[in-house]
Amino acid sequence: MIKRFWLIGIFGLLIGCHGQKQVKKHNPYFSLTDTTELRLPNSVWKEVLSDGVYTITRERSTEAPYNNEFCDFKAAGNYHCAACGNLLFSSVNKYDSGTGWPSFWQPIQPNRLLFRKDFSEKMERVEVLCKRCGGHLGHLFYDGPAPTRQRYCMNSLALKFMKDSVK
């Protein structure tokens, strides 16, 4: 009888722990001031990023539209790379594109981003990456509002919002 309760207890413990989110180490590469380019293997990023941020930024995934943190978010502040802290976008340049992802008509500074042709999904697109860490942020389209006519369609999980001075 005692053996049965012991087995049930161990089984319950295993089931209970299985669904818990894995705690990651502190990310020593996240900085709001350091602009030094980072060239780290994905194995290092996997240790310090949450599963969602890792999947988007390192595996070039895309989150679901409309069901993400910054789609309808309207607070004033700045958006940084969720992996490394690089300053990317201001809320002043955010707009509702109707696509279900946070969209911006221009970055804080173009030199904070990298651009690469992307032929996935059976179409040609422009992939937008963080210049500091090389993390995938989203895509650039040329159907945005004036004056740039650009739409930086970003993944919320690739961004970290900071309610700091708007630039």
Catalytic residue numbers read 153
Angle formed at CA 61 by CA 57 and CA 64, multiple of 5 degrees: 115
Q: How far apart are CA 130 and CA 79, in angstroms?
A: 12
Token pair for residue 144? 């945005």
68 DSSP 8-state letter: S
Torsion over CA: 120, 30, 34, 158 (sign): positive
Give me Rg for the CA atoms of the chain.
19
